[in-house]
């Protein structure tokens, strides 16, 4: 019965936001897509919805959508899929609509947004989710579900209910009381792959063929491993090097999200990936010369 299901708003119409929105509409989860501006909303309406290729064939899925520039009904459940650097301003733009104590699930690369949001709105219940679902956006308001993965959600006492609500169709969300571990592993994977692919302008797999890049990749991991004993997250980094190399091999043909950002002149997520790692390392008095150098090189690129 759909009438008992909570209403979700999805902020961020990139690949992952569009993927969840598409399955939500197909599986009767009441959902509204929030678009950045009135102009984006008009473009969405012109497109007629999201053109989704979920199981091989494309279908146009009409979906309720609103503009962040307009007022509207209160928001109690928000799935935040914006890029990390855009998150604070995007949430600030809908803050008057966010109900007191609203649940916000952050499903994005990088760390540090939760702290920023809680400074803006200390009443929010912020959860984190990590996904390995493969999706890409061939054009605005289009999405292709390219590979099945899994999604973990945690960070608060309501994680089981939220995970159940966000499990739509084949997108299975599992509550994880140790979500910090998954977040840190994902962070280090991104620290190892994203800046190097962006600086060398190469696909993920090409890092393995470039001796200098490969040496730096191992250096990034070595430095991250020095932090492990300070994080009190158990065996969080066990097998991490192998996992990074597996991700590089399994996504060999991918152009990382950071490479795509740099090539399109968008602000990258470097402050929330390598920048976050360097900030935490500094708090623990650990030097990270290789990561810091990558951070500085990335930030020196035009538009960063
Ligand atoms: O940001 C990305 O591109 C992805 O998280 C990953 C895992 C590095 C694959 O390209």
Checking if the pLDDT of 232 tops 90, the result is no
Contact between residue 172 and residue 146 where contact means Cβ atoms under 8 Å apart? no
Q: How confident is the model at residue 1 (pLDDT cuts 50, 70, 90)?
A: very low
pLDDT digits (tens, 9 = 90+) for 98-129: 999 999 999 999 999 999 999 999 999 999 99
Return the pLDDT at 255: 93
Give the sign of the dihedral formed by CA 9, CA 2, CA 177, CA 179: negative
| Structural domains for the chain | 8-177 (3.40.50.720), 180-299 (1.10.1040.10)
Which residues contact residue 206 at a Cβ distance below 8 angstroms, ignoring those fewer than 6 apart?
Answer: 197, 200, 213, 252
Q: How confident is the model at residue 234 (pLDDT cuts 50, 70, 90)?
A: confident
**Of 26, 45, 186, 299, which one is the catalytic site residue?**
186
pLDDT digits (tens, 9 = 90+) for 176-195: 999 999 999 999 999 999 99
Tokens of 112: 């540090």
Ligand 1 closest atom vs CA 194? 8
Q: How confident is the model at residue 17 (pLDDT cuts 50, 70, 90)?
A: very high
Residues having CB within 6 Å of any atom of ligand 1: 109, 189-190, 193-194, 204, 247, 251, 254, 256-257
- Identify the residue with better confidence: 276 or 235: 276
pTM for this predicted structure: 0.95
Q: Is 83 tagged catalytic?
A: no
- What is the rounded CA–CA span in Å between residue 117 and residue 132? 24
Q: How confident is the model at residue 237 (pLDDT cuts 50, 70, 90)?
A: confident
Q: What percent of the chain has pLDDT over 70?
A: 99
Compute the distance from residue 216 Cα to the ligand 1 centre, in Å: 17
Q: For ligand 1, atom 1, which residue shows the shortest CA distance?
A: 257
Q: How confident is the model at residue 165 (pLDDT cuts 50, 70, 90)?
A: very high
Checking if the pLDDT of 172 tops 70, the result is yes
Maximum distance among all Cα pairs of the chain, rounded to whole angstroms:
57
**Chain-centroid distance, C-alpha 2:** 28
Q: DSSP alpha helices (H): ranges in the chain? A: 15-26, 38-47, 84-94, 113-120, 159-166, 179-200, 211-231, 240-250, 257-263, 274-283, 289-299
Checking if the pLDDT of 2 tops 50, the result is no
pLDDT digits (tens, 9 = 90+) for 30-51: 999 999 999 999 999 999 999 9
Which residues contact residue 196 at a Cβ distance below 8 angstroms, ignoring those fewer than 6 apart?
Answer: 207, 213, 216, 217, 220, 294
Going by the DSSP 8-state scheme, the letter that residue 2 receives in this structure is: G
């Amino acid at each position: 019965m759909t009438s008992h299901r909570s209403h979700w708003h999805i902020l961020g119409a990139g690949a992952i936001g569009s993927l969840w929105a598409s399955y939500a509409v197909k599986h009767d989860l009441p959902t509204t897509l929030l678009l950045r501006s009135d102009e984006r909303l008009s473009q969405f309406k012109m497109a007629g919805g999201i053109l989704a290729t979920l199981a091989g064939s494309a279908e146009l899925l009409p979906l309720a959508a609103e503009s962040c520039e307009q007022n509207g009904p209160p928001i109690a459940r928000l799935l935040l899929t914006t890029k990390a650097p855009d998150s604070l301003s995007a949430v600030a733009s809908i803050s008057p609509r966010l109900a007191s104590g609203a649940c916000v699930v952050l499903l994005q690369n990088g760390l540090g947004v939760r702290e920023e949001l809680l400074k803006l709105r200390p009443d929010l219940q912020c959860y984190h989710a990590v996904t390995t679902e493969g999706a890409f956006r061939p054009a605005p308001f289009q999405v292709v579900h390219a590979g099945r993965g899994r999604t973990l959600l945690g960070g608060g006492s309501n994680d089981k209910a939220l995970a159940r609500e966000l499990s739509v169709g084949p997108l299975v969300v599992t509550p994880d009381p140790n979500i910090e571990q998954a977040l840190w592993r994902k962070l280090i994977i991104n620290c190892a792959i994203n800046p190097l692919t962006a600086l060398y302008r190469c696909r993920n797999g090409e890092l393995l063929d470039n001796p200098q890049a490969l040496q730096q990749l191992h250096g990034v991991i070595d430095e991250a491993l020095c932090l492990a004993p300070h994080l009190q997250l158990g065996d969080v980094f066990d097998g991490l090097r192998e996992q990074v190399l597996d991700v590089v091999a399994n996504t060999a043909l991918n152009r990382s999200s950071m490479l795509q950002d740099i090539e399109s002149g968008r602000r990258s997520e470097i402050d929330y990936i390598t920048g976050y790692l360097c900030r935490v390392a500094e708090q623990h008095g650990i030097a990270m010369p290789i990561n810091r150098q990558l951070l500085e090189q990335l930030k020196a690129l035009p538009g960063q």
